[in-house]
């Protein structure tokens, strides 16, 4: 096992002005499962490929354990990769696929068989060892690809979106298996995905990356409860956080026709560059339906409702000047710029109604419009 360290690592592809990965400092602890997450094209796969030795490092250093591997050949780094594409040899049996890397390395046949059988037992593949890949389901093929990595007993596992080719139900099942497997083996793992649900459910820690720059690293609950900036706030969580820019009037946020109190220390942190505005964020579960006389509530025109049995969701527009205005969201949202509130399905209002919404003041997320950094 080994710790992995990215020390001021930069990768600029030929012909590009901007770095795909920019001055990355990241420490993956020995035995840790770290998930690198971000939208497509943000540099997460490039980061993984630099660690694997498949991409050149333009600046900085990469360490595995106490060894500087920046310029080392991939075969000498003692890593094993699992890809989105299973990359199995169709003419070989499961056992031969799993043991192929060991065979190339000149490992004795008895040792190969022993390691393959151990890995097959862990992955519940024992009965499939003599089958060819075409006789397996997608989930089983992915487990064979995992087995091929396990038998090598590497210092580090690298996983690049390994669940992308699986259907929704199998994806949930397989991510549980991968998380359990990593706990059992205790191998340092860097797992790359664009799916924030995978990140929240699997990782010991999550690193969020945007346009090649690291945004925040922390435990799933830390990123969910205290996002460092607007991007992390909007990216982590499903449905995503409601995030909008509002004017600040007399120490209060003006939300539509209504006002909501803001902490004095937060208002004091706003600068002239913020233009007298503040970014207010709240998660759908951190707001409730309010009564007609409740203070610090705002009006919402209900455009759509969803009854999921266990939960109900209200989608609506904030009421401004007596009418429902479409909101300009500070970030891309999956609610089509509408505010989302989670309520009991027994309390769902009807489409076309106007309701009052109250945000839990302890769960409000406040950011500076000029920097998009957290204020509270």
Domain boundary among 168, 200, 234: 234
Per the structure, how many domains does the chain have?
2
Integer Cα distance of 34 and 30 in angstroms: 10
Q: What b/e readout covers 70-89, taking b as 16+ CB neighbours within 10 angstroms?
A: beeeeeebbbbbbebebebe
Indicate whether 204 and 350 sit together in one domain: no
Indicate whether 185 and 271 sit together in one domain: no
What does the pLDDT look like over 248-261, one tens digit per residue? 999 999 999 899 99
Query: 96 lies in a domain?
Result: yes
Indicate whether 249 and 297 sit together in one domain: yes
The widest CA-to-CA distance across the chain, in whole angstroms, is 79
Q: Which two tokens stand for residue 147?
A: 């087995």
Query: 264 lies in a domain?
Result: yes
What does the pLDDT look like over 352-376, one tens digit per residue? 999 999 999 999 999 999 999 999 8
Q: What b/e readout covers 128-166, taking b as 16+ CB neighbours within 10 angstroms?
A: bbeebbeebeebbbbbbbbbbbbbbebbbbbbbbbbebb
Domain boundary among 170, 204, 234: 234
Residue in the block written with tokens 């208002």: 267
Indicate whether 278 and 255 sit together in one domain: yes
Predicted confidence at residue 369, as pLDDT, reads: 94
In degrees, to the nearest 5, what angle opens at C-alpha 374 toward C-alphas 213 and 193?
Answer: 40
Where the chain has pLDDT below 50, the residues are 328-333
Indicate whether 138 and 38 sit together in one domain: yes
Predicted confidence at residue 332, as pLDDT, reads: 42
For residue 209, the cross-strand partners are 214
Query: 375 lies in a domain?
Result: no
Predicted confidence at residue 243, as pLDDT, reads: 93
CA-closest candidate to residue 59, choices 43, 71, 48? 71
Contact between 357 and 347 under an 8 Å Cβ cutoff? The reply is: no
CA dihedral 102, 107, 111, 113 (to 10 degrees): 40
Secondary structure element (H or E) that encloses residue 9, with its range: strand 4-11
Secondary structure element (H or E) that encloses residue 83, with its range: none
Domain, as residue range, for 298 = 243-367
Predicted confidence at residue 322, as pLDDT, reads: 64
Integer Cα distance of 200 and 162 in angstroms: 16
Task: Supply the CATH number for residue 318's domain.
Answer: 2.40.50.140
Domain boundary among 234, 252, 276: 234
Indicate whether 336 and 355 sit together in one domain: yes
Indicate whether 222 and 164 sit together in one domain: yes
Query: 376 lies in a domain?
Result: no
3-state class (DSSP) for residue 115: helix
Indicate whether 211 and 345 sit together in one domain: no
Integer Cα distance of 251 and 263 in angstroms: 8
């Amino acid at each position: 096992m080994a710790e992995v360290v990215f020390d001021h690592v930069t990768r600029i592809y030929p012909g590009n002005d901007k770095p795909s990965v920019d001055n990355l400092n990241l420490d993956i602890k020995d035995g840790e499962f770290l998930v690198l997450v971000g939208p497509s094209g943000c540099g997460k796969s490039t980061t993984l490929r630099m660690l694997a030795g498949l991409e050149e490092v333009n600046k900085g250093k990469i360490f595995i354990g106490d060894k500087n591997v920046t310029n080392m050949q991939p075969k000498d780094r003692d890593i094993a990769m699992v890809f989105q594409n299973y990359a199995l040899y169709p003419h070989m049996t499961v056992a031969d696929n799993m043991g192929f890397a060991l065979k190339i390395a000149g490992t004795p046949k008895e040792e190969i068989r022993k390691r393959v059988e151990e890995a097959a037992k862990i992955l519940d593949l024992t009965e499939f060892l003599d089958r060819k890949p075409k006789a397996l389901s997608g989930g089983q093929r992915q487990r064979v690809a995992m087995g091929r990595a396990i038998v090598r007993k590497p210092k580090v596992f690298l996983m690049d979106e390994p669940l992308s080719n699986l259907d929704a139900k199998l994806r949930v099942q397989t991510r549980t298996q991968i998380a359990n497997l990593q706990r059992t083996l205790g191998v340092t793992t860097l797992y790359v995905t664009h799916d924030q649900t995978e990140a929240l459910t699997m990782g010991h820690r999550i690193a969020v990356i945007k346009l090649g720059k690291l945004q925040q690293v922390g435990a799933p609950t830390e990123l969910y409860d205290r996002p460092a900036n607007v991007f992390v706030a909007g990216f982590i969580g499903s449905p995503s956080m409601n995030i909008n820019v509002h004017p600040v009037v007399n120490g209060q946020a003006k939300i539509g026709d209504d006002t909501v109190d803001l902490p004095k220390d937060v208002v004091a942190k706003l600068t002239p560059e913020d233009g007298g505005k503040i970014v207010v964020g709240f998660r759908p579960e951190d707001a409730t339906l309010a009564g007609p006389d409740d203070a610090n509530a705002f009006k919402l025109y209900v455009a759509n409702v969803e009854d999921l049995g266990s939960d109900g969701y209200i989608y609506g527009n904030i009421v401004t000047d007596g009418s429902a205005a479409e909101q300009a969201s500070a970030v891309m949202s999956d609610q089509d710029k509408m505010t989302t509130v989670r309520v009991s399905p027994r309390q769902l209002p009807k489409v076309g109604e106007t309701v009052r919404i109250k945000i839990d003041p302890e769960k409000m997320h406040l950011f500076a419009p000029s920097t998009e950094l957290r204020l509270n």
